[in-house]
Structure 1
Amino acid sequence: MKIAMWSGPRNLSTALMYSFGNRADFHAVDEPFYGPYLRITGLDHPMRDAVLTSRLESAVEVEQSLLGPIPNGKPNAYHKHMCQHMVDGIPRGFMAGCVNVFLLRHPARVVASFLNGYPQATEDDIGFARQAALFQHCRDLGQNPVVVDSADIRADPQGMLRAMCQAIGLDWDPAMLSWPKGPKPFDGAWAPHWYASVHDSSGFAGPEGALPSLDARGQALTETAMPYFDAMARNALKI
Protein backbone atom coordinates (compact mmCIF):
# COMPACT_ATOMS: atom_id res chain seq x y z
CA MET A 1 0.00 0.00 0.00
CA LYS A 2 1.14 3.52 -0.84
CA ILE A 3 -0.53 6.22 1.23
CA ALA A 4 -0.48 9.78 -0.07
CA MET A 5 -1.30 12.04 2.88
CA TRP A 6 -2.38 15.53 1.79
CA SER A 7 -2.31 18.52 4.11
CA GLY A 8 -1.32 22.14 4.35
CA PRO A 9 1.55 23.37 6.53
CA ARG A 10 1.51 23.31 10.34
CA ASN A 11 -1.16 20.63 10.34
CA LEU A 12 0.04 17.70 12.50
CA SER A 13 1.49 16.35 9.27
CA THR A 14 4.98 15.70 10.63
CA ALA A 15 3.68 13.99 13.77
CA LEU A 16 1.48 11.77 11.60
CA MET A 17 4.47 10.95 9.40
CA TYR A 18 6.38 9.97 12.55
CA SER A 19 3.42 7.85 13.61
CA PHE A 20 3.42 5.85 10.37
CA GLY A 21 7.23 5.90 10.16
CA ASN A 22 7.40 4.18 13.54
CA ARG A 23 5.68 1.13 12.07
CA ALA A 24 8.09 -1.61 11.02
CA ASP A 25 6.12 -2.17 7.80
CA PHE A 26 6.32 1.42 6.46
CA HIS A 27 8.82 3.49 4.50
CA ALA A 28 8.24 7.23 5.04
CA VAL A 29 8.90 10.03 2.52
CA ASP A 30 8.90 13.69 3.57
CA GLU A 31 7.47 16.22 1.07
CA PRO A 32 8.99 14.70 -2.07
CA PHE A 33 7.96 17.55 -4.39
CA TYR A 34 9.41 20.36 -2.27
CA GLY A 35 12.50 20.82 -4.44
CA PRO A 36 10.65 20.93 -7.77
CA TYR A 37 8.04 23.24 -6.22
CA LEU A 38 10.69 25.77 -5.19
CA ARG A 39 12.40 25.59 -8.57
CA ILE A 40 9.11 26.11 -10.44
CA THR A 41 7.84 28.96 -8.26
CA GLY A 42 11.14 30.63 -7.36
CA LEU A 43 9.84 31.21 -3.83
CA ASP A 44 12.36 32.18 -1.16
CA HIS A 45 11.38 29.77 1.60
CA PRO A 46 13.36 29.28 4.82
CA MET A 47 16.39 27.05 4.12
CA ARG A 48 15.73 27.26 0.37
CA ASP A 49 19.33 26.42 -0.61
CA ALA A 50 19.41 23.38 1.66
CA VAL A 51 16.09 22.16 0.30
CA LEU A 52 17.22 22.53 -3.31
CA THR A 53 20.54 20.81 -2.61
CA SER A 54 18.79 17.88 -0.97
CA ARG A 55 16.01 17.62 -3.58
CA LEU A 56 17.79 17.55 -6.93
CA GLU A 57 15.15 15.50 -8.73
CA SER A 58 12.83 16.93 -11.35
CA ALA A 59 9.10 16.64 -10.74
CA VAL A 60 8.94 13.76 -13.25
CA GLU A 61 11.79 11.95 -11.48
CA VAL A 62 10.00 12.40 -8.15
CA GLU A 63 6.84 10.91 -9.60
CA GLN A 64 8.74 7.93 -10.97
CA SER A 65 10.28 7.32 -7.55
CA LEU A 66 6.82 7.35 -5.98
CA LEU A 67 5.53 4.91 -8.59
CA GLY A 68 8.54 2.61 -8.26
CA PRO A 69 9.31 -0.17 -5.78
CA ILE A 70 9.10 0.73 -2.10
CA PRO A 71 12.65 0.94 -0.67
CA ASN A 72 14.15 -1.37 1.93
CA GLY A 73 11.77 -4.22 1.18
CA LYS A 74 8.92 -2.54 3.05
CA PRO A 75 5.38 -3.56 2.06
CA ASN A 76 3.95 -0.06 2.57
CA ALA A 77 4.95 3.56 1.95
CA TYR A 78 3.76 6.80 3.53
CA HIS A 79 4.17 9.92 1.42
CA LYS A 80 3.72 13.20 3.29
CA HIS A 81 2.57 15.75 0.70
CA MET A 82 1.92 19.47 1.00
CA CYS A 83 -1.10 20.47 -1.08
CA GLN A 84 0.44 23.83 -1.97
CA HIS A 85 3.32 22.04 -3.72
CA MET A 86 0.98 20.76 -6.46
CA VAL A 87 1.34 23.73 -8.78
CA ASP A 88 1.29 23.55 -12.59
CA GLY A 89 4.24 21.41 -13.64
CA ILE A 90 3.92 18.93 -10.79
CA PRO A 91 2.41 15.67 -12.10
CA ARG A 92 -0.63 14.06 -10.51
CA GLY A 93 -0.70 10.74 -12.34
CA PHE A 94 0.78 8.88 -9.38
CA MET A 95 -2.30 9.70 -7.28
CA ALA A 96 -4.33 7.07 -9.15
CA GLY A 97 -2.13 4.35 -7.65
CA CYS A 98 -2.22 5.67 -4.08
CA VAL A 99 -4.61 5.55 -1.17
CA ASN A 100 -5.21 9.28 -0.84
CA VAL A 101 -5.99 10.67 2.63
CA PHE A 102 -6.64 14.32 3.48
CA LEU A 103 -5.59 15.84 6.81
CA LEU A 104 -7.38 18.98 8.03
CA ARG A 105 -6.69 21.65 10.63
CA HIS A 106 -8.71 24.76 11.37
CA PRO A 107 -7.38 27.62 9.21
CA ALA A 108 -6.93 30.00 12.16
CA ARG A 109 -4.49 27.56 13.77
CA VAL A 110 -2.64 26.97 10.51
CA VAL A 111 -2.35 30.69 9.77
CA ALA A 112 -1.16 31.61 13.27
CA SER A 113 1.55 28.94 13.24
CA PHE A 114 2.69 29.37 9.64
CA LEU A 115 2.95 33.16 9.75
CA ASN A 116 5.21 32.77 12.76
CA GLY A 117 7.76 30.92 10.63
CA TYR A 118 7.03 32.50 7.23
CA PRO A 119 5.52 35.98 7.73
CA GLN A 120 5.01 36.71 4.03
CA ALA A 121 2.73 33.69 3.54
CA THR A 122 -0.20 34.06 1.14
CA GLU A 123 -3.42 32.16 0.48
CA ASP A 124 -1.54 29.85 -1.91
CA ASP A 125 1.04 29.02 0.75
CA ILE A 126 -1.48 27.63 3.22
CA GLY A 127 -3.02 25.39 0.60
CA PHE A 128 -6.72 25.11 1.50
CA ALA A 129 -8.08 25.83 -1.99
CA ARG A 130 -5.64 23.38 -3.55
CA GLN A 131 -6.48 20.75 -0.94
CA ALA A 132 -10.14 20.95 -1.94
CA ALA A 133 -9.17 20.72 -5.62
CA LEU A 134 -7.01 17.65 -4.98
CA PHE A 135 -9.86 16.04 -3.07
CA GLN A 136 -12.14 16.60 -6.05
CA HIS A 137 -9.42 15.21 -8.34
CA CYS A 138 -9.48 11.98 -6.34
CA ARG A 139 -13.27 11.88 -6.59
CA ASP A 140 -12.94 12.33 -10.37
CA LEU A 141 -10.62 9.30 -10.40
CA GLY A 142 -13.43 7.26 -8.86
CA GLN A 143 -11.86 7.18 -5.41
CA ASN A 144 -13.57 7.91 -2.11
CA PRO A 145 -10.68 9.49 -0.19
CA VAL A 146 -10.64 9.52 3.59
CA VAL A 147 -10.63 12.90 5.36
CA VAL A 148 -9.32 13.21 8.92
CA ASP A 149 -9.38 16.30 11.16
CA SER A 150 -6.18 16.71 13.16
CA ALA A 151 -8.25 17.95 16.11
CA ASP A 152 -9.95 14.55 16.25
CA ILE A 153 -6.59 12.77 16.24
CA ARG A 154 -5.33 14.93 19.09
CA ALA A 155 -8.53 14.33 21.06
CA ASP A 156 -8.38 10.53 20.68
CA PRO A 157 -5.20 9.33 18.95
CA GLN A 158 -5.83 5.62 19.28
CA GLY A 159 -9.50 5.81 18.35
CA MET A 160 -8.98 7.99 15.28
CA LEU A 161 -5.86 6.22 14.04
CA ARG A 162 -7.61 2.85 14.38
CA ALA A 163 -10.59 4.23 12.46
CA MET A 164 -8.35 5.66 9.76
CA CYS A 165 -6.49 2.38 9.36
CA GLN A 166 -9.77 0.52 9.09
CA ALA A 167 -11.11 3.00 6.54
CA ILE A 168 -8.12 2.51 4.25
CA GLY A 169 -7.81 -1.25 4.74
CA LEU A 170 -4.68 -1.26 6.89
CA ASP A 171 -4.11 -3.36 9.99
CA TRP A 172 -3.85 -1.40 13.23
CA ASP A 173 -0.41 -1.18 14.84
CA PRO A 174 -0.03 0.36 18.35
CA ALA A 175 3.48 1.49 17.35
CA MET A 176 1.69 4.44 15.72
CA LEU A 177 0.92 6.00 19.09
CA SER A 178 4.50 6.98 19.97
CA TRP A 179 7.98 7.47 18.54
CA PRO A 180 11.48 8.27 19.84
CA LYS A 181 12.29 11.92 20.45
CA GLY A 182 14.64 13.70 18.09
CA PRO A 183 15.22 13.95 14.33
CA LYS A 184 14.33 11.05 12.04
CA PRO A 185 16.35 9.69 9.13
CA PHE A 186 13.52 10.49 6.74
CA ASP A 187 13.19 14.16 7.82
CA GLY A 188 13.53 16.70 5.03
CA ALA A 189 16.45 19.13 5.03
CA TRP A 190 14.08 21.86 6.27
CA ALA A 191 13.50 20.09 9.60
CA PRO A 192 15.79 22.39 11.65
CA HIS A 193 13.54 25.35 10.82
CA TRP A 194 10.11 23.71 11.18
CA TYR A 195 10.30 20.54 13.28
CA ALA A 196 11.67 21.68 16.67
CA SER A 197 8.46 20.99 18.59
CA VAL A 198 7.81 17.59 17.04
CA HIS A 199 11.46 16.60 17.61
CA ASP A 200 10.80 17.26 21.29
CA SER A 201 7.73 15.01 21.24
CA SER A 202 7.26 11.28 21.65
CA GLY A 203 3.55 11.15 20.79
CA PHE A 204 0.55 13.22 19.82
CA ALA A 205 -0.15 16.32 21.90
CA GLY A 206 -3.50 16.61 23.63
CA PRO A 207 -6.46 18.71 22.51
CA GLU A 208 -5.81 22.33 21.57
CA GLY A 209 -7.39 25.24 23.42
CA ALA A 210 -9.30 28.21 22.08
CA LEU A 211 -8.59 29.47 18.59
CA PRO A 212 -5.67 31.92 18.45
CA SER A 213 -6.07 35.68 18.14
CA LEU A 214 -5.02 36.97 14.73
CA ASP A 215 -4.11 40.34 13.30
CA ALA A 216 -6.06 41.74 10.35
CA ARG A 217 -3.92 39.97 7.76
CA GLY A 218 -4.13 36.64 9.54
CA GLN A 219 -7.87 37.02 9.92
CA ALA A 220 -8.24 37.76 6.21
CA LEU A 221 -6.26 34.63 5.29
CA THR A 222 -8.40 32.58 7.64
CA GLU A 223 -11.66 33.91 6.22
CA THR A 224 -10.51 33.10 2.69
CA ALA A 225 -9.68 29.53 3.70
CA MET A 226 -12.79 28.78 5.77
CA PRO A 227 -15.18 27.81 2.92
CA TYR A 228 -12.71 25.18 1.69
CA PHE A 229 -12.12 23.89 5.21
CA ASP A 230 -15.83 23.70 5.96
CA ALA A 231 -16.55 21.79 2.74
CA MET A 232 -13.78 19.28 3.48
CA ALA A 233 -14.77 18.96 7.15
CA ARG A 234 -18.22 17.71 6.13
CA ASN A 235 -16.46 14.60 4.81
CA ALA A 236 -14.29 14.03 7.92
CA LEU A 237 -14.10 10.54 9.39
CA LYS A 238 -15.95 10.16 12.68
CA ILE A 239 -15.98 7.44 15.32
Structure 2
Amino acid sequence: MQEKRIAMWSVPRSFGTVLLQAWSSRSDTAVFDEILSFPYLFIKGKDLGFTWADLDSSQMPYTDWQYVIERLKAPVPEENLQYIIELLKAPLPEGKSICYQKHQAYHLIEEIMGLEWILPFTNCFLIRQPKEMLLSFHKIVPHFTFEETGWIELKRLFDYVHQKSGAIPPVIDAHDLLNDPPRMLSKLCQAVGVEFTEAMLSWPPMEVELNEKLAPWYSTVASSTNFLPYQAKDEPLPLHLVNICERCDEIYQELYQFRLS
Protein backbone atom coordinates (compact mmCIF):
# COMPACT_ATOMS: atom_id res chain seq x y z
CA MET A 1 0.00 0.00 0.00
CA GLN A 2 1.59 3.26 -1.15
CA GLU A 3 1.82 5.94 1.52
CA LYS A 4 0.69 9.52 0.98
CA ARG A 5 1.89 12.31 3.26
CA ILE A 6 -0.09 15.54 3.02
CA ALA A 7 1.12 18.75 4.70
CA MET A 8 -1.56 21.45 4.88
CA TRP A 9 -0.05 24.88 5.60
CA SER A 10 -2.20 27.80 6.73
CA VAL A 11 -2.45 30.97 8.78
CA PRO A 12 -4.39 31.11 12.08
CA ARG A 13 -8.20 31.08 12.13
CA SER A 14 -8.56 29.52 8.68
CA PHE A 15 -10.73 26.54 9.69
CA GLY A 16 -7.70 24.29 9.64
CA THR A 17 -8.94 22.21 12.58
CA VAL A 18 -12.27 21.56 10.86
CA LEU A 19 -10.39 20.30 7.82
CA LEU A 20 -8.20 18.19 10.11
CA GLN A 21 -11.30 16.61 11.61
CA ALA A 22 -12.53 15.72 8.14
CA TRP A 23 -9.31 13.85 7.42
CA SER A 24 -9.25 12.25 10.87
CA SER A 25 -12.62 10.61 10.13
CA ARG A 26 -11.03 8.52 7.37
CA SER A 27 -10.15 5.00 8.47
CA ASP A 28 -7.00 5.04 6.31
CA THR A 29 -5.55 8.29 7.68
CA ALA A 30 -3.32 9.22 10.62
CA VAL A 31 -3.26 12.92 11.48
CA PHE A 32 -0.90 15.35 13.20
CA ASP A 33 -2.22 18.56 14.74
CA GLU A 34 0.37 21.37 14.60
CA ILE A 35 3.28 19.24 15.74
CA LEU A 36 5.67 22.05 14.78
CA SER A 37 4.14 24.16 17.53
CA PHE A 38 6.32 22.32 20.02
CA PRO A 39 9.73 23.35 18.70
CA TYR A 40 8.25 26.77 17.94
CA LEU A 41 6.98 27.25 21.49
CA PHE A 42 10.15 25.77 22.94
CA ILE A 43 12.09 28.53 21.20
CA LYS A 44 9.59 31.39 21.51
CA GLY A 45 7.17 30.25 24.19
CA LYS A 46 8.44 32.53 26.95
CA ASP A 47 7.77 35.56 24.78
CA LEU A 48 4.26 34.26 24.04
CA GLY A 49 3.32 33.54 27.65
CA PHE A 50 3.23 29.75 27.26
CA THR A 51 4.78 27.22 29.63
CA TRP A 52 5.23 23.48 29.29
CA ALA A 53 2.29 22.99 31.65
CA ASP A 54 0.06 24.43 28.92
CA LEU A 55 1.20 21.78 26.46
CA ASP A 56 0.44 18.42 28.04
CA SER A 57 -0.57 15.64 25.68
CA SER A 58 -4.18 15.54 26.87
CA GLN A 59 -4.74 18.98 25.35
CA MET A 60 -3.87 17.88 21.81
CA PRO A 61 -6.47 15.25 20.92
CA TYR A 62 -5.07 14.02 17.62
CA THR A 63 -1.47 13.23 18.50
CA ASP A 64 0.27 11.48 21.39
CA TRP A 65 2.46 14.43 22.33
CA GLN A 66 3.97 13.24 25.60
CA TYR A 67 7.08 11.72 24.06
CA VAL A 68 7.55 14.82 21.91
CA ILE A 69 7.38 17.04 24.97
CA GLU A 70 9.84 14.90 26.91
CA ARG A 71 12.31 14.98 24.03
CA LEU A 72 12.15 18.77 23.85
CA LYS A 73 12.54 19.09 27.63
CA ALA A 74 15.68 16.93 27.61
CA PRO A 75 19.00 18.38 28.87
CA VAL A 76 20.06 19.44 25.36
CA PRO A 77 16.69 19.91 23.63
CA GLU A 78 18.18 21.69 20.63
CA GLU A 79 19.61 18.34 19.54
CA ASN A 80 16.15 16.80 19.57
CA LEU A 81 14.37 19.22 17.21
CA GLN A 82 15.22 16.83 14.38
CA TYR A 83 13.01 14.29 16.13
CA ILE A 84 9.92 16.25 15.10
CA ILE A 85 10.86 15.94 11.45
CA GLU A 86 11.60 12.24 11.80
CA LEU A 87 8.23 11.69 13.47
CA LEU A 88 6.44 13.13 10.43
CA LYS A 89 8.42 10.79 8.17
CA ALA A 90 8.12 7.68 10.36
CA PRO A 91 6.21 4.56 9.23
CA LEU A 92 2.46 4.91 9.61
CA PRO A 93 0.40 2.78 11.99
CA GLU A 94 -0.91 -0.51 10.65
CA GLY A 95 -3.90 0.00 8.37
CA LYS A 96 -3.03 3.63 7.63
CA SER A 97 -1.79 4.71 4.21
CA ILE A 98 -2.28 8.49 4.51
CA CYS A 99 -0.57 10.92 6.89
CA TYR A 100 -2.37 14.29 7.09
CA GLN A 101 -0.49 17.08 8.82
CA LYS A 102 -2.08 20.35 9.89
CA HIS A 103 0.54 23.10 10.15
CA GLN A 104 0.73 26.82 10.85
CA ALA A 105 3.28 28.20 8.39
CA TYR A 106 4.90 30.44 11.00
CA HIS A 107 5.67 27.44 13.23
CA LEU A 108 8.33 26.32 10.75
CA ILE A 109 11.43 28.25 11.81
CA GLU A 110 13.53 28.02 8.67
CA GLU A 111 16.88 29.01 10.17
CA ILE A 112 16.67 26.14 12.66
CA MET A 113 14.75 23.37 10.89
CA GLY A 114 15.37 24.20 7.24
CA LEU A 115 12.81 23.71 4.48
CA GLU A 116 14.09 20.92 2.27
CA TRP A 117 12.59 18.18 4.47
CA ILE A 118 9.03 19.18 3.46
CA LEU A 119 9.64 18.49 -0.24
CA PRO A 120 8.79 14.75 -0.16
CA PHE A 121 5.35 15.66 1.22
CA THR A 122 2.35 16.70 -0.84
CA ASN A 123 2.26 20.32 0.33
CA CYS A 124 -1.07 22.17 0.21
CA PHE A 125 -2.19 25.61 1.32
CA LEU A 126 -5.35 26.69 3.14
CA ILE A 127 -6.28 30.38 2.92
CA ARG A 128 -9.04 32.59 4.29
CA GLN A 129 -10.13 36.11 3.38
CA PRO A 130 -7.90 38.33 5.58
CA LYS A 131 -10.60 40.55 7.07
CA GLU A 132 -12.48 37.48 8.31
CA MET A 133 -9.31 35.82 9.53
CA LEU A 134 -8.07 38.95 11.33
CA LEU A 135 -11.38 39.62 13.08
CA SER A 136 -11.33 36.08 14.44
CA PHE A 137 -7.64 36.27 15.38
CA HIS A 138 -8.15 39.64 17.09
CA LYS A 139 -10.72 38.17 19.48
CA ILE A 140 -8.05 35.84 20.86
CA VAL A 141 -4.89 37.91 20.35
CA PRO A 142 -5.81 41.61 20.77
CA HIS A 143 -2.41 43.01 19.79
CA PHE A 144 -0.29 41.72 16.93
CA THR A 145 1.72 42.96 13.97
CA PHE A 146 1.50 42.07 10.30
CA GLU A 147 4.59 39.91 10.75
CA GLU A 148 2.75 37.87 13.40
CA THR A 149 -0.19 36.92 11.16
CA GLY A 150 1.70 34.15 9.38
CA TRP A 151 1.00 35.37 5.84
CA ILE A 152 4.67 36.10 5.08
CA GLU A 153 5.69 32.56 6.01
CA LEU A 154 2.76 31.06 4.10
CA LYS A 155 3.75 32.84 0.90
CA ARG A 156 7.40 31.94 1.40
CA LEU A 157 6.53 28.26 1.71
CA PHE A 158 4.21 28.40 -1.30
CA ASP A 159 6.94 29.99 -3.42
CA TYR A 160 9.52 27.49 -2.16
CA VAL A 161 7.36 24.45 -2.98
CA HIS A 162 6.41 25.94 -6.36
CA GLN A 163 10.03 26.64 -7.25
CA LYS A 164 11.39 23.29 -6.11
CA SER A 165 8.60 21.13 -7.56
CA GLY A 166 7.98 23.10 -10.73
CA ALA A 167 4.23 22.76 -10.12
CA ILE A 168 1.64 24.96 -8.45
CA PRO A 169 0.70 23.31 -5.14
CA PRO A 170 -2.98 22.86 -4.26
CA VAL A 171 -4.63 25.89 -2.64
CA ILE A 172 -8.03 25.69 -0.97
CA ASP A 173 -10.04 28.69 0.23
CA ALA A 174 -11.96 28.34 3.51
CA HIS A 175 -15.02 30.10 2.09
CA ASP A 176 -15.24 27.64 -0.80
CA LEU A 177 -14.70 24.68 1.53
CA LEU A 178 -17.46 25.57 3.97
CA ASN A 179 -19.96 26.54 1.28
CA ASP A 180 -19.62 23.24 -0.60
CA PRO A 181 -17.70 20.65 1.43
CA PRO A 182 -18.35 17.60 -0.79
CA ARG A 183 -17.25 19.38 -3.94
CA MET A 184 -14.15 21.02 -2.47
CA LEU A 185 -13.03 17.95 -0.55
CA SER A 186 -13.41 15.94 -3.74
CA LYS A 187 -11.25 18.45 -5.59
CA LEU A 188 -8.67 18.45 -2.81
CA CYS A 189 -8.53 14.66 -2.74
CA GLN A 190 -8.14 14.58 -6.51
CA ALA A 191 -5.36 17.17 -6.33
CA VAL A 192 -3.39 15.15 -3.77
CA GLY A 193 -4.04 11.79 -5.41
CA VAL A 194 -6.37 10.04 -2.98
CA GLU A 195 -9.97 8.93 -3.28
CA PHE A 196 -12.66 11.09 -1.66
CA THR A 197 -14.91 9.38 0.86
CA GLU A 198 -18.13 10.70 2.38
CA ALA A 199 -16.76 9.77 5.79
CA MET A 200 -14.92 13.11 5.59
CA LEU A 201 -18.20 15.02 5.91
CA SER A 202 -18.84 14.20 9.59
CA TRP A 203 -16.90 13.30 12.73
CA PRO A 204 -17.41 12.86 16.48
CA PRO A 205 -16.79 15.85 18.79
CA MET A 206 -13.40 16.07 20.45
CA GLU A 207 -13.21 14.29 23.79
CA VAL A 208 -10.87 16.70 25.52
CA GLU A 209 -11.03 19.27 28.32
CA LEU A 210 -9.19 22.34 27.10
CA ASN A 211 -7.12 24.47 29.44
CA GLU A 212 -7.46 28.25 29.52
CA LYS A 213 -4.62 28.80 27.05
CA LEU A 214 -5.99 26.50 24.35
CA ALA A 215 -9.75 26.87 24.92
CA PRO A 216 -10.07 30.11 22.88
CA TRP A 217 -8.52 28.36 19.88
CA TYR A 218 -10.44 25.09 20.04
CA SER A 219 -13.63 25.59 22.07
CA THR A 220 -16.03 26.08 19.13
CA VAL A 221 -14.59 23.50 16.79
CA ALA A 222 -14.20 20.94 19.59
CA SER A 223 -17.96 20.41 19.72
CA SER A 224 -18.52 20.38 15.96
CA THR A 225 -19.56 17.21 14.14
CA ASN A 226 -19.73 18.44 10.53
CA PHE A 227 -19.07 21.39 8.26
CA LEU A 228 -21.32 24.40 8.85
CA PRO A 229 -22.10 27.03 6.18
CA TYR A 230 -19.67 29.93 6.07
CA GLN A 231 -20.94 32.92 8.06
CA ALA A 232 -19.43 36.20 6.91
CA LYS A 233 -18.42 38.70 9.58
CA ASP A 234 -20.07 42.06 9.01
CA GLU A 235 -18.39 44.04 11.80
CA PRO A 236 -15.78 46.61 10.77
CA LEU A 237 -12.10 46.07 11.34
CA PRO A 238 -10.56 47.98 14.24
CA LEU A 239 -8.62 50.91 12.81
CA HIS A 240 -5.24 49.53 13.87
CA LEU A 241 -5.88 46.43 11.73
CA VAL A 242 -6.76 48.20 8.48
CA ASN A 243 -3.19 48.52 7.25
CA ILE A 244 -2.38 45.00 8.41
CA CYS A 245 -5.38 43.70 6.49
CA GLU A 246 -4.28 45.46 3.31
CA ARG A 247 -0.85 43.84 3.51
CA CYS A 248 -2.33 40.42 4.23
CA ASP A 249 -4.74 40.83 1.33
CA GLU A 250 -1.90 41.35 -1.13
CA ILE A 251 -0.60 37.88 -0.32
CA TYR A 252 -4.10 36.39 -0.14
CA GLN A 253 -4.90 37.59 -3.66
CA GLU A 254 -1.65 36.12 -4.99
CA LEU A 255 -2.58 32.71 -3.58
CA TYR A 256 -6.31 33.01 -4.31
CA GLN A 257 -5.72 33.00 -8.05
CA PHE A 258 -4.41 29.42 -7.73
CA ARG A 259 -7.23 28.07 -5.56
CA LEU A 260 -9.10 24.90 -6.43
CA SER A 261 -12.47 25.87 -7.89
CA distance in 2, matches of 1:184, 1:172: 28
Q: 1:194 and 2:197 equivalent?
A: no
Letter in 2 for 1:62: I
Ranges in structure 2 where 5+ consecutive residues have no aligned partner? 58-67, 73-79
User: Is residue 181 from structure 1 mapped to residue 184 from structure 2 by the alignment?
Assistant: no
Question: In 2, Cα distance between the equivalents of 1:92 and 1:5?
Answer: 15
Unmatched 5+ stretches in structure 1: none
The aligned counterpart of 1:28 is 31
How big is the shift at 1:43?
Answer: 5.0
The equivalences for 1:115-126 within 5 A come to: 115-126=138-149
Aligned residue runs from structure 1 range 6-25, under 5 A: 6-25=9-28
- Taking the TM superposition and a 5 Å limit, the aligned residue runs for 1:35-54 are 35-42=38-45, 44-45=47-48, 47-51=50-54, 54=57
CA contact (8 A) 2:168 2:258 kept: no
Structure number, greater radius of gyration: 2
Q: Counterpart amino acid of 1:197?
A: T
Identity of aligned residues (%): 29
**C-alpha RMSD over aligned residues:** 2.3
* Normalised TM-score (structure 2): 0.83
Moved more, 92-101 or 189-198: 189-198
Residue 211 of structure 1 and its aligned partner are, at CA, apart by 4.6
Question: Which of 62, 69, 84 pairs up with 1:62?
Answer: 84
Q: Does 1:158 align with 2:182?
A: yes
User: What are the superposed Cα offsets for residues 102-138 of structure 1, whole Å, 9 maximum, x if unpaired?
Assistant: 0000111111111111122222322111111100110
Partner of 2:150: 127
1:86 aligns with 2:89: no
* Partner Cα distance (1:188, 1:78) in 2: 25
SS of aligned partner of 1:80: strand
One-letter amino acid matched to 1:69:
P
CA distance in 2, matches of 1:51, 1:181: 21
TM-score by length of 1: 0.90
CA spacing shift, 1:77–1:183, aligned 2, 3 Å: same
> By how many angstroms is 1:49 displaced?
2.9
> How far apart are the structure 1 equivalents of 2:24 and 2:49?
25
Q: Cα offset for 1:17?
A: 0.3
Shift of 1:75: 0.8
User: Which 4+ stretches in 1 moved above 4 angstroms?
Assistant: 51-55, 187-191
